[in-house]
Structures are given as C-alpha cells and as structure tokens.
Amino acid sequence: MHLETERLIIREFSMEDLNDFHEIFGDPDVMKYTEPPYNLKQCKKFLKEFCIEREPKGGFAAELKETGKVIGYILFCSEDDPQIYETGWVFNKDYLRKGYAFEACNCIINYGFYELGLHKITAETTDTEKSVPLMKKLGMLPEGILKKHTKTNEGHRRDLHLYAILGEEYLLVK
C-alpha cells in the first residue's frame, strides 16, 4: 500500500525505519496510554514480525513527504472478520497536535471504505483527552465502554472506549 496526503506518505514499513520507529515506541510519554515503552530489540521484533512479515500487514508508516522521516505508526488490520478492520495510531511526540494523525487516519479510513470495500472500521483507547476527540473527528461513534478493562503502565485500571464507523454511514457523508 502506498497512499499520499498533503503532507504524508502512508506506506509499508521497512527495517530502515527502525530508528524512527524506536523514537516513537521507545518514548514513555508516547506510550503512556498503550504499553510500557519498547527497547530497541522489542521495536525490531515488532517491526519485523507485525509490520513487515505479517500478511496482511499489521501497521503502516506515516512518513513526512518533506523529510522522509517516519513520524507515526498506523494500525490497520483485520483480526477475525476480513470486512472489519481496526485502526489506531501512535505518533512521535514532536509531531503531536499538528493534524498529522487526523490526516493519516482519515486517509486510511477512506482507503478502507472506497478501495477495500470494508463494512466497518473500529478503534479503541483509554486516552479520553486526545484519542477520543480524534475518533469523533474521524466520524466514529461510540460503541461502548469496557469499565476498568485495562491497566495503565503504572498498574491502575482504566476504562477502554470503543468507537467505530460503518462503511454505509461513511459513504453517505463523504
């Protein structure tokens, strides 16, 4: 897959992206709402096995057109039903609050519905400050909250917020 937005290229990862990938996944601030930060070895394993070797691919790179730097990871894959994909995003903290996540996810959602003919795209988060507003901006609607379903990196229980958008609704709006 190779998609382009005004400022980004959404593409498959390669092992040459390891350092940029580690800048993202190795940062405790970035990983606050996901998992403990990854060391370089964990990044290499995840990048290789989930993003490069897995078929279909599990995640895609958000690369700045201007510099070629990978500033984000976009989850976009199906686990059980090939007509239902999950999306998610993790971006380098130096590029937050600049619209890159919206730009990348909007592009990949558009691809999912128009090119792949998906039925539904889902997302989940414990981050109600940044991720839930982005999900809403992407046109996703709440599907439920799993109360105290997951733990923070510090071991505290958090609610897991589930959002989704149906292809039939998306195609009517766009």
* pLDDT value for 38: 97
List, in sequence order, every residue forming a beta bridge with 21; answer none if it has no partner.
Answer: none
Q: Structural domain of residue 117, as residue ranges?
A: 2-173
pLDDT over 70 at 31, yes or no: yes
Give the pLDDT mean for 115-122: 97
- Sign of torsion, CA 71 89 132 136? positive
* pLDDT value for 136: 96
Q: Check which CATH number belongs to the domain holding 166 and give it.
A: 3.40.630.30
Give the global pTM: 0.92
* pLDDT value for 154: 77
- In total, how many domains does the chain have? 1
The DSSP line for the chain is -EEE-SSEEEE---GGGHHHHHHHHT-TTGGGGSSSPP-HHHHHHHIIIIIIISSS-SEEEEEETTT--EEEEEEEE-SS-TTEEEEEEEE-GGGTTSSHHHHHHHHHHHHHHHTS--SEEEEEES-TTTHHHHHHHTT-EEEEEEEEEEE-TTS-EEEEEEEEEEHHHHHHH-
* pLDDT value for 56: 86
**How many residues comprise the chain?**
174
Binned at pLDDT 50, 70 and 90, residue 1 comes out as confident
Q: What is the pLDDT of residues 49-91, one digit of tens each?
A: 999 999 888 999 999 999 999 999 999 999 789 999 999 999 9
Angle at 35 between CA 32 and CA 38, to 5 degrees: 100
* pLDDT value for 112: 96
Q: What is the pLDDT of residues 131-163, one digit of tens each?
A: 999 999 999 999 999 999 988 777 889 999 999
* pLDDT value for 174: 61
Residues 6+ apart with CB under 8 A from 65: 4, 7, 8, 9
